[in-house]
Chain A
Amino acid sequence: MAIQAYQDKAAALYAGLRSRYSVFMANPHLTGGQKLAVHYFTAAVVLFMAQLLFGLLAGLQFIWPGFLYEVLDFNVNRMVHINAMIVWMLYGFIGSVYWFLEDESGVPVVGLKWGQLAFWVLTGAVALVVLVYLLVQVGSGNDTSLWFINEGREYIEAPRWADIGIVAVMLVFFYNVAATFAQGKWSGIAGVLTLDLVALAGLYLAGMFYATNISVDQYWWWWVIHLWVEATWEVLVGCIMAWSLMKLLGVRRQIVQTWLYIEVALMFGSGILGLGHHYFWIGTPEYWFTIGGFFSALEPIPLVAMVVHSVYDSGVHNFKNGNHPALAWIIAHTFGNFLGAGVWGFMHTLPQINLYTHGTQWSASHGHLAFFGAYATINIAFFYLAAQQARGNCWMGGGLANGWRWKWSLALLNLGVMGMTVALLIAGYEQSFIERAIEGSTWTAYFDAQNHPWFVQAMVWRVIFGLMTIAGGGLLFWDLLAIGKAETRKAAVINLA
């Protein structure tokens, strides 16, 4: 009987989802590409929530090491935490590109059916990978484990079969983008975007083979991690930002595109050789001290430029825009990117200080603010653009019904992440000082630093601010589901300058 009841419930749930899905697919306000974008955004938000949840579990284990011991150990929680982050950000970027692809090219997405298929393949694969992470967790020390369980290499842990699947999906995505622009208009944004996607997909290949020599292993590993996060992703976000500034604020295309080229020059000019700051201590030659130090010191410059131009643009247009939550998140992006990637990155990028801070909570501090500021924020801005359009281009300006929700989630998420960042920074200073500078980097030194009350306090603060972040995340989830549903007014019309 009980089984029958569950079957009925599952059937009802499935029927409900199916009918909601067909209602969504009949939405007259969205183009085909935009519907696909909403698919990506939905999966992205779900993964974002998973990232927050597993981050909380890992954070709690710093305070109570026995918590979930040998059930969900720190390594599993932390892997799901960082993998969910990478994947939801990629989902957000891909969704954002599908979102503006038709608007920018002037034609419907070419090969949309393939794009839709790729979405379901990718999402199925991600679900399977996460299940294996949680249920199987670890394997034996052989190639089978690396092919089917996980590769055990931070950030790109996905087993190799999934790597190959990801490349296939990226090729479909690339085909959609390039073929659509080829059939419609090529703009400056389109050109930068297409070339950037070639680089982004190509770099992933650098992390797809095994090497016993760990110096060689990490050499190529950084080609994926650094050249994604500090070069191609930043340029991708630049393209997305350029388009959204035109839409949100009515900035002239010529100005936006000139800035985009400046940003590409600065970003790639500093970021490609800035890769060297990861080659100080992995066995690579000493000349990377000079090259890595010099170019990574230049890396914040494009981020300063971005603050200047977005604040300037907003000011010139008196902050007039048709989507307050989206603009607020774009402003959060500008400052978050500058502070998290620029300032926090620069603070420990030079070998003179990195010798002490590398591999400490310093990196965790920088990582939290940089990923959130540079990438989470702009994706969330696009979620709001999509929510607005999906609900019939409704009003999203001042006096919005239930506007408290987006404002509170914005405040809680930003304060929460900033709080975690500062807590981890304090832990990082303490760890660098006691473990490295004073005690000489042994395991005893490591634990002396970890057990110090200043470190423990910082970890407690991290969890408190983590809870604040989760509260903001939950509110964001709720708001995205509900915002504008009851709104009868149409969006404000922005006069193009």
Chain B
Amino acid sequence: MNEPLPFWASETFWKKTAIWVTSGSFVLLILLTFDSLAKISAGGSRVPAYSVINKDISYRFDKQLQRYQPVILGDAPLFGKMLSETEAEQLVALGKKTTQAKNCMNCHTLLGNGAYYAPDLTKAWLDQAWGGAGRETAMAQFLLDPEKYAHTYGSNRKMPNLGITEEEARGVVAFLKWMSAIDTNGFPHNFKAIGAEEE
């Protein structure tokens, strides 16, 4: 056991390798994080400004990328009221905090993350289940009394009454509308949105 080890089998070689590889990867991650955070700030091309809730959001098939992408069309104020950027952000924040305080993520998925007991909410605003016109009212109504307005699609799974107030319900709808406009690189796959265009 006394013959000298080749350098590649020695403890010090691997110690140095471990340190270099770890710090190298971490530095790269930091650099990528700066870039990613700049690209996903609200108001950029990937994540829309909160005032997008004043607009008509739809889906369009991108031939080159071979996937549907969200598109922002003309004015379509939420609950019939145009909001300033600050007001819109406040409403979306109320909705986001409500989804957290009501623990939505432990039944539903948001951007595909969460639990799988209830449907993904990523593009909920654009889901055909809500029909076309007046969907914000239908959604808010559902959130206020989910048992009464439940559509279980034969699964018998019902959302419990979580004591959501009217203002909170509007906030959640605003949050869902804003989230539906995020460019999620074509996720969920092949999503057939309300009024999706195939060119």
Contact = CB atoms under 8 A, between A and B. Distances in A.
Interface of A: 58, 61-62, 65-66, 69-70, 73-76, 78-79, 137-143, 145-146, 149-154, 157, 188, 192, 210, 212-219, 221, 254, 257-258, 261-262, 264-265, 268-269, 272-273, 275, 279-289, 291, 355-356, 358-361, 363-364, 431, 436-437, 440-444, 446-448, 450-451
Nearest to A66: B156
B148 interface: no
Interface residues of B, number: 86
B155 A450 contact: yes
B180 to A, nearest CB: 11
Contacts of A269: 21-22, 25
Contact of B154 (A151, A210, A447): A447
B120 A151 contact: no
A214 B97 contact: no
Contact of B46 (A143, A285, A359, A443): A285
Interface string B67-94: 0000000000000000000000100111
Contacts of A285: 35-36, 39-40, 46
Given A70-B161, A268-B21, A141 B101 contact: yes
A446 B119 contact: yes
A146 B39 contact: no
11 contacts: A75-B103, A150-B100, A152-B103, A213-B42, A214-B182, A217-B96, A264-B18, A282-B113, A287-B32, A355-B187, A359-B112
B24 to A, nearest CB: 8
Given A279-B36, A285-B35, A142 B97 contact: yes
B185 A281 contact: yes
Interface of B: 9-11, 14-15, 17-18, 21-22, 25-26, 28-29, 32-33, 35-37, 39-42, 46-47, 50, 89, 92-107, 109-120, 123-124, 127-129, 152-158, 160-165, 168, 171, 179, 182-192
Contacts of A141: 94-95, 97-102, 164, 168, 171
B116 A265 contact: no
Contact of A441 (B9, B94, B185, B191): B191
A279 B111 CA distance: 10
Contact of A258 (B11, B33, B94): B11
B32 A291 contact: yes
B103 A218 contact: no
A213 B18 CA distance: 35
Contacts of B113: 154, 218, 221, 282, 359
Contacts of A258: 9-11, 14
Contacts of A361: 116
B105 to A, nearest CB: 5
Given A69-B158, A273-B25, A359-B120, A286 B192 contact: no
A92 B192 CA distance: 46
Contacts of B39: 284-285
Contact of A154 (B105, B119, B127): B105
Given A150-B103, A152-B102, 15 more contacts: A62-B117, A78-B115, A138-B101, A140-B101, A213-B42, A272-B25, A280-B187, A281-B111, A282-B112, A283-B183, A285-B46, A436-B188, A440-B191, A442-B191, A443-B129
Contacts of B99: 141, 152
B25 to A, nearest CB: 4
Contacts of B158: 65, 69
A272 B111 contact: no
B5 to A, nearest CB: 9
Contact of B103 (A76, A254, A356, A431): A76
A75 B97 contact: no
Determine which residue in B17, B104, B182, B189 has the highest number of CB atoms from chain A within 10 A of its CB, and name it: B189
Given A284-B36, A355-B186, A261 B100 contact: no
A437 B40 contact: no
A122 B191 CA distance: 45
B26 A272 contact: yes
Contact of B163 (A138, A281, A356, A364): A138
Contacts of B33: 219
A216 B41 contact: yes
Given A261-B17, A265-B21, A359-B112, A446 B192 contact: no
Given A65-B155, A218-B111, A359-B116, A152 B185 contact: no
Nearest to A257: B11
Contacts of B129: 442-444
A145 B101 CA distance: 6
Contacts of A218: 110-111, 113
A288 B47 CA distance: 16
A66 B157 CA distance: 7
Contact of A436 (B35, B89, B123, B189): B189
Given A219-B40, A437-B189, A440-B192, A214 B105 contact: no
Contacts of A287: 32
Contacts of A436: 188-190
Contacts of B165: 140
